[in-house]
Chain A
Amino acid sequence: MKYMCLIYSPPMENEPTEPGTPEFEAMMAPWIAFNEMVEKAGVSLGGDALLPVQTATTVRVRGGKTEMMDGPFAETKEQLGGYYIFECKDLDEALKYASQIPVHEYGSVEVRPIMDFEA
């Protein structure tokens, strides 16, 4: 089964964004290690980090009219910051990988099975 792991975390203040700086490298190190681990295990079907919600635009079409809005649809404390897609034999395996995503000191991960239209 395919599972999407949606990574949520509260907005970080003073997040290091300058590649090459020691702060940035330190922030990235656990993510690089995790990526290597899931690649090696052969379960990864990809994943990405997203730019912060300040860059988000929500689009809604109502009555033929397109509305655009600054920011995400729902204001919540935790914001979607990235995702992984894993191919796993069952939920337990997916949860095992999800619990190792290096976000748990401050955020959380929602694990959702991906709908399979072929089955």
Chain B
Amino acid sequence: MTSTGQGDPTAALAQVMDTDHGRLMAALIGQLRDFQLAEDCLQEAAASALVHWTRAGVPRAPAGWLLQVARRKAIDRLRKGQTADKYSADLSYLTELDQQDAVAEATQEIPDERLRLIFTCCHPALDQKSRVALTLRTLGGLTTAEIARGFLDKETTMAQRLVRAKQKIAAAGVPYAVPDPTEWPERLPHVLTIVYLIFNEGYATLSGQDHIRKDLCAEAIYLAEVLNTLAPEEAEIEGLLALLLLIDARRTARAEGDRFVALEHQNRNLWDKRKMTRGEVLTETALKRQRPGPFQIKAAIQALHADAPTFADTDWLEIVALYNVLLRFEDTPVVRLNRAVATSYAVDPKTGLTLLQPLAGALATYSPYFAALADVEARCGHPDAACGAYDRAIALTQNPTEKEFMKQKQSLLEDGQTN
């Protein structure tokens, strides 16, 4: 919690709502036991802050101020019976907390309960898209409109989704708790998957291409950092954070204007060395713990890309070996696809092709499969088959940048050049 002292109340409020939103929501939900009430009261407290801070100056501990005022708003509402009070905390408890805080003048650090909040938002009793949305809303502090834009949904649809998720948490008794150590191995992957999904959603858009979309990649990295701080020495959390940093490091290099640049043709000098190094160090730290998991292996694969001075110098044999290990954790058609592509470089395109062909059924509607197939067919010297596969890939993607990228590759093939 930062103390801003004097200063512009609007800027101070924006800053505290940005940096402390997750912490504030986590503490409020812990005390109020009601997601919706917490959200509404924090909004009201923020509105009051503008008025009070303009008049009396920005308090020494703005986040503490907001927490206390939000809780008082909740006490008021509960007194007036304005909430679905059957799920909320009882008044006497809240009043007691309020008095304790008044004595301490609301200057103490807010206890960090974000781990509970993350596990609740990512609870498998909620459907996956709702988990993503709720995590972004409560922990990331994104507005409903921003989340809706992030997922190309209507704002009203997203708002309804969030309301339903919050209602289910209350009505079905989803606990506001970090799972027991015995349940941890089963529950942690759910949380990590949600963070990874948020990242991928952001990564599908080229940076700078769409300014109204909030940077979901940065949001996912922030969440992974929070997890890594709150639950240190968890190999898979370190693996996830490493993976995100290693992929994110290539962000600038993968776009030229609004054109997509494949890994093969990226200017490696544009890769963010600081992120790469941190990702590589984290990967190593995680693997040394001898508790391998899918995120660590994916990070190790990306670390090999990071290490290669050129595309041709990539250690493809090692990458194929790592995909074989990954298959033990995640035997999915997509992992098999990636292994086939790596094999096409490690061994030869023909071998890659024989591994790709059996996946056609399982990945019949997956655009990246046909893009990879097209590329390998082209490298095998089958331009017609490659063009046909590009047709499928182009038809199957909604992403205009990807469409454009593949059309260019296709037209190069039609002109008789292999790229």
Chain A residues with CB under 8 Å of chain B are 1, 3, 88-92, 94-95, 113, 116, 119
B115 to chain A, nearest CB (A): 15
B179 at the interface (CB under 8 A from A): yes
Determine, out of B57-65, B168-176, B319-327, the stretch whose residues face the partner at the interface. B168-176
Interface positions, chain B 122-180, Cβ under 8 Å from A, are: 123, 125, 171-175, 177, 179
Query: Which residues of B have CB within 8 Å of A113?
Result: 171-173
Of B125, B172, B174, B175, which is in contact with the most chain A CB atoms at under 10 Å from its CB? Answer: B172
B86 engages A91 (CB within 8 Å): no
**Which of A92, A116, A119 is within 8 Å of B179, CB to CB?**
A92
Of B171, B173, B183, which is in contact with the most chain A CB atoms at under 10 Å from its CB? Answer: B173
B86 engages A1 (CB within 8 Å): no
Bound-state Cα–Cα, A88 to B123, Å: 17
Query: Which residues of A have CB within 8 Å of B172?
Result: 91, 113
Query: Which residues of A have CB within 8 Å of B173?
Result: 1, 3, 88-91, 94, 113
Specify the chain B residue showing the minimal Cβ separation from A2. Answer: B173
B192 to chain A, nearest CB (A): 19
Specify the chain A residue showing the minimal Cβ separation from B183. Answer: A92
Bound-state Cα–Cα, A1 to B174, Å: 11
**Which of B86, B174, B183 is within 8 Å of A90, CB to CB?**
B174
Bound-state Cα–Cα, A88 to B171, Å: 14
| Total number of B residues with any Cβ neighbor in A under 8 Å | 11
Specify the chain B residue showing the minimal Cβ separation from A90. Answer: B175
Query: Which residues of A have CB within 8 Å of B174?
Result: 90-92
Specify the chain B residue showing the minimal Cβ separation from A95. Answer: B125
Which 5 residue pairs spanning A and B have beta carbons closest together?
A90-B175, A119-B86, A91-B173, A90-B173, A1-B173
7 contacts between A and B (CB under 8 A): A91-B123, A91-B174, A92-B174, A92-B175, A94-B173, A113-B172, A116-B86
Specify the chain B residue showing the minimal Cβ separation from A112. Answer: B172
A96 to chain B, nearest CB (A): 8
Specify the chain B residue showing the minimal Cβ separation from A1. Answer: B173
Specify the chain A residue showing the minimal Cβ separation from B124. Answer: A95
Query: Which residues of A have CB within 8 Å of B179?
Result: 92
Query: Which residues of A have CB within 8 Å of B177?
Result: 90, 92
Query: Which residues of B have CB within 8 Å of A94?
Result: 173
Query: Which residues of B have CB within 8 Å of A3?
Result: 173
Specify the chain B residue showing the minimal Cβ separation from A119. Answer: B86
Bound-state Cα–Cα, A90 to B174, Å: 6
Bound-state Cα–Cα, A116 to B173, Å: 12
Bound-state Cα–Cα, A95 to B123, Å: 12
**Which of A91, A116, A119 is within 8 Å of B175, CB to CB?**
A91
Bound-state Cα–Cα, A113 to B179, Å: 20
Interface positions, chain B 172-207, Cβ under 8 Å from A, are: 172-175, 177, 179, 183
Specify the chain B residue showing the minimal Cβ separation from A113. Answer: B172
Query: Which residues of B have CB within 8 Å of A1?
Result: 173
Specify the chain A residue showing the minimal Cβ separation from B182. Answer: A96
Query: Which residues of B have CB within 8 Å of A90?
Result: 173-175, 177
B228 to chain A, nearest CB (A): 24
A109 to chain B, nearest CB (A): 13
Specify the chain B residue showing the minimal Cβ separation from A3. Answer: B173
**B318-346 vs A: 1/0 string, CB under 8 Å?**
00000000000000000000000000000
Bound-state Cα–Cα, A75 to B10, Å: 59
Bound-state Cα–Cα, A89 to B180, Å: 14
Bound-state Cα–Cα, A3 to B173, Å: 10
Bound-state Cα–Cα, A116 to B183, Å: 28
Bound-state Cα–Cα, A94 to B86, Å: 20
B129 to chain A, nearest CB (A): 20
